[in-house]
Amino acid sequence: MTTRDIVFAAVGAITALSALLSVTTKHVVHSALWLLVSLGSLAGCYLVLGQELVGLVQLLVYVGAIVVLVLFALMLTRAPIGPHAEIDTPAWQRVVGALLGAATTVLLAALLLPLFSGVTVELDGGAPGGTPAIAQAVFGTWVWPFELLSVLLLVALIGAFAVSRLVLRSEDETVTARGEVRR
Amino acid sequence: MIHLQLPAALAALLAGIGVYGVLARRNAVLVLIGVELILNAANLLLVTAGSRTGAPFAAGPVLTLFVITIAAAEICVALAVVLVLFRTTGAIDLTAVPDLTDEPEPEPDPQPDPEPEPDLRGEVRS
Amino acid sequence: MSWIVRMIVVLPALAALAGLLARRQRLLAAGIAIGMSAYVAVLAFIQWVAPARTADIESIGRLSTGALQVPLHLLSDRLSGLVALAVAVVVLAIQVFTAWYLRDDPRYGQFAATVSLFATGMLLLVQASDLVLILVGWEIMGWCSWLLIGHDSQRPEARRAAYKAFIVTRVADIGMVVGLVALAVRAGSTDLITVLTASGHDTALTVGLVGVIIGVAGKSGLIPFHDWLPDAMEGPTPASALIHAATMVAAGSYVIARLFSLYASHDGARTLLAVLASATMVYAALLAFAQTDLKRMLAYSTLSQIAIMLAALAAAPPDIGFAPAIGHLVAHAFFKALLFLGAGWLSVLAGATALAALRGRLHGTGALRWSIGLGLAALAGVPPLIGFFTKDSVIETSIEGATGGGGARAWLVVVALFVTVVLTATYCARAWLLLDTPLAAAEPQSGGSPNAATGSDVPEAVVVAEEDLAVVTAADSADDAEVERVHAHGHAPITLSAALAVATLAALTVFGTLLLFSLTGALKPGIVSALLSLLLVVGAAYAVWTLSDRGRHDVADRVPSHVRDRAVRGFGADTAYVGVGRAVTAVARLVVALDRDVVDAYPRATVVAARGLGRVGERSHRGVPSLSLLALLAGVVVIAVLGVTAWR
């Protein structure tokens, strides 16, 4: 056990615990906030693993943007404040869900732990893939996928816009159609 | 120096928690939170694998960045869909039985008193 | 000279087109129709005087059809020259007459144009040296006959008659097409000369000749197909004259005459033709005797006369050939056109075509009386009119064929011919007595009649007859439209030109025999047969004269009424046609039902199954989302576990 192992175990425990809380809490808004904690501490995990850039991007994008977006969505869908009994699926579904989650964990662990058993990485003398190396790779080897990603973001933006517009129009039509029928 | 078994175990744990989150919530936005957890488990695994010595092209961190970007796009579209769903049906409860009549069946055209068949013979005779 | 041959075909077609474009201007339309047909008549006369005697006149160039030669040549010889002249003259007379007869008809322009197109079809057929061109002319006439018969298209009877003519001839045309194709395949060419000189392939020859006979039976009204022709009287009288006199029904005789050298070598086909023609000529003459309508009587006489031509072709010995039949074709063209135009004239005067309404109306009409008299006499075969010579040539030819090895086939024709001579004279005499005896003379006040003994019956009979007259006038006339027109507005008196057209035809009926000298063998009357048939004609006429009490009664009334009523309706041939049509439709329905409900059941079952699967999928797809998610993830985990286990 090295220092990094201990630090990682601590940060990872926070991550796992806050993730668990975020999926079990009865408060809708708390769920989003626990997600924020979980993702933030995951950024800490990245730092411990020596990937400063990934950690910072995680903070920027996930914590800064996505969680905020989720919070907005909760507000727009009039999520109730305070504990709410109707937040979860029926008990038997949750039991099955827990079983499936456990099965996933066990499966992945059974696969990954043997793969990584005894594998260690020396990070103290500077990470092998530091930020300059990532920059080299992104704008060298990965430049086309990178450009493609920008297109993907644009398409997603337009797609989100179009989805809301299209469905809104058809919603109007159904409303009028129903109104006529009612009349 | 760090043992990579620890991050791998955390990734497996996060994925399991995410799966439970997806299945245990009936609010669509909270289901998305579960999905985010699963995605982060994948990210952590990428970073972990990329930390091994000899990983080419800095694939681990770069792919992680890509997945973060894609996750941003995904959550954007997903939240748009959720909002539209909320506006259309007034609720985002995934346990509700969907309203199967939301697509109105093509109603038979209202037949305003069908005209009697023109009697050709009668016309001819007259 | 070959340009004349081409112009004879092309000019009527141009006239039809121009007449259709100018149909709104009545004078212009009439001018185009009459002028063109007059010019064509002149050209046909030139061609008759000096035929080109060639069968290699290019029309539109050969068709490129691979192995089959389709040269599309026209020909010009004595035969085509004579028939083309007769056709052109009759068409000219009909066009002139139509200009007066349909003077008040709003669709005169279309009618005249259709007549021109009809003439195109017949002249093309007459001058064709190619089976394809023969078929083209044949079909043009079939289509135009539909248009002409259905001219008064607002009347359901006319529409029905038009469709009946079209469908019946069309069914028979199946045989025609099959026959012509078989002949063309046999020769490897559609050129007429090649077809006539080809040898071998007896099966193809039999199929071809029999097929052509079936097609001819349809257009010429031989017995199974005969009933369309009397119904075709629903058309205006000039249309009837055109169809009956020189063109459509006679086209069959001409086609068989063209193919005569093939028929001469094939006894089976000729026997079929002889049986059909003999049966038709006697049967149609019998029905003609019973008719109550002048135009229908003429229609049945046409059937009988056409059958005489075909019988001549069936019985003639090969060395005499087709000439007597063609002679009779030309003669029939003249006197039947004369009779129809005269009947049209008379119907305008009397306002009806029913014989009961026409009784005595011919008396004191001058030229018309002479014309119809000449026509009926020629039809009956009274010397020295053209009908006598040609009919006697046919009889003489048949006797020669019978004695020269024709056997039972030719004897059948000879017997049928003599029976027909008697019957023809009978119905002609009946018609003449009915039309000509003044009604006053038929009033039985004077004694001495056989009915005088039972005097109480007589006034009753007169009352019945007058009632009949009223009913018949209103309901039984074939040319209803003309009758209505006359009753409503009256009709302009006949113009000089129309009267002249009728008179020209009358003159041709008398002197047309001279034309026939151009065709070798067309006139060969035998003394013995001539005397015998003359005796039969006189005897029949005298018998009618006596039996009808010198024209005071309708001799056909002596036929038992139930038989006569059915004879007037053609012994239910129409019902039989409808039955055949119904049967064919029923078979078609059965086939459709089999196809749809049995053969198509399997493809449609897959459709039903796919749709059902789709419904099931839709239902499950629209289940509760959380449950669906649960099932989905469970499936993913199961597959992952399986995958990992298998990978291990």
User: H or E stretch including A23?
Assistant: helix A3-24
Q: What is the mean pLDDT of residues C354-368?
A: 79
- Are A110 and C630 a contacting pair at CB < 8 A? no
* Structural domain contains residue A106: yes
Q: Output the pLDDT for position A143.
A: 92
Q: Which two tokens stand for residue C204?
A: 């193809």
* Structural domain contains residue A134: no
pLDDT tens readout for residues C91-143:
999 999 998 888 888 888 899 999 999 999 999 999 999 999 999 999 999 99
Q: Output the pLDDT for position C612.
A: 92
C592 touches chain B (CB under 8 A): no
Tell me the nearest-neighbour CA distance from B125 into chain A, angstroms. 45
The whole-angstrom separation of Cα C225 and Cα C249 is 12
Residue A162: which domain range? 142-183
pLDDT tens readout for residues C432-456:
888 888 766 554 443 333 443 333 4
B96 touches chain C (CB under 8 A): yes
ipTM of model: 0.85
Which chain A residues touch C646 with a CB distance below 8 Å? none
**Better-predicted residue by pLDDT, A11 or C497:** A11
Rounded to a whole number of angstroms, the distance between the first and last alpha carbons of chain B is 109
Contact indicator for C309, C413 with CB cutoff of 8 Å: no
Q: Taking the mean position of all CA atoms in its chain, how far away is CA A168?
A: 28
Mean pLDDT comparison of A40-54, A126-140, C60-74, highest-scoring range? A40-54
Residues A30 and A65 in one domain: yes
Which chain A residues touch B55 with a CB distance below 8 Å? 129
B39 touches chain A (CB under 8 A): no
Residues A21 and A58 in one domain: yes
Residues A3 and A75 in one domain: yes
Which chain A residues touch B17 with a CB distance below 8 Å? 16, 19-20, 23, 101, 105
C24 touches chain B (CB under 8 A): no
User: H or E stretch including C275?
Assistant: helix C267-290
State the CATH number of the domain containing residue A76.
1.20.120.1200
* Structural domain contains residue A40: yes
- The residue whose two tokens read 């003359």 is C534
Q: Which chains form contacts with chain C, at 3 or more CB pairs under 8 Å?
A: A, B
What domains can you pick out in chain B, each with its CATH number? 5-89 (1.10.287.3510)
Residue C636's CB: how many other CB atoms inside 10 A? Answer: 13
User: Given pLDDT bands bounded at 50, 70 and 90, which one contains residue B118?
Assistant: very low
- Are B23 and A94 a contacting pair at CB < 8 A? yes
Nearest to A111 among C633, C637, C644 (CB): C644
Residues A1 and A69 in one domain: yes
Q: Which two tokens stand for residue C287?
A: 């029905």
**Better-predicted residue by pLDDT, C518 or A149:** A149
The whole-angstrom separation of Cα C15 and Cα C32 is 6
Contact indicator for B75, B7 with CB cutoff of 8 Å: no
C641 touches chain A (CB under 8 A): yes
**Better-predicted residue by pLDDT, B96 or B107:** B96
Tell me the nearest-neighbour CA distance from B63 into chain C, angstroms. 23
Contact indicator for C544, C436 with CB cutoff of 8 Å: no
pLDDT tens readout for residues C562-620:
888 888 877 888 888 889 889 999 999 999 998 888 888 888 889 999 999 988 887 77
Residue C67's CB: how many other CB atoms inside 10 A? Answer: 6
Residues A66 and A111 in one domain: no
Domain count, chain A: 3
Tell me the nearest-neighbour CA distance from A100 into chain C, angstroms. 7
**Better-predicted residue by pLDDT, A146 or B93:** A146
Residues A55 and A42 in one domain: yes
Q: Output the pLDDT for position A182.
A: 40
Tell me the nearest-neighbour CA distance from B41 into chain C, angstroms. 16
Residues A149 and A103 in one domain: no
User: Given pLDDT bands bounded at 50, 70 and 90, which one contains residue B88?
Assistant: confident
Residues A65 and A46 in one domain: yes
Residues A37 and A110 in one domain: no
What DSSP line would sit under C146-168, residue for residue?
HHHHTSSTTSHHHHHHHHHHHHH
Q: Name, in order, each residue with C-beta under 8 angstroms of C260's C-beta and a sequence gap of 6 or more.
A: C313, C316, C321, C322
Closest residue in B to A127 (Cα–Cα): B51
- Are B23 and C630 a contacting pair at CB < 8 A? yes
Residues A84 and A96 in one domain: no
- Are A107 and C633 a contacting pair at CB < 8 A? no
Residue B63 pLDDT exceeds 80: yes
For testing contact with chain C, the best of B94, B102, B125 (most C CBs within 10 A):
B94
Q: Which chains form contacts with chain A, at 3 or more CB pairs under 8 Å?
A: B, C
- Are B98 and C630 a contacting pair at CB < 8 A? no
Which chain C residues touch B94 with a CB distance below 8 Å? 624-626, 629
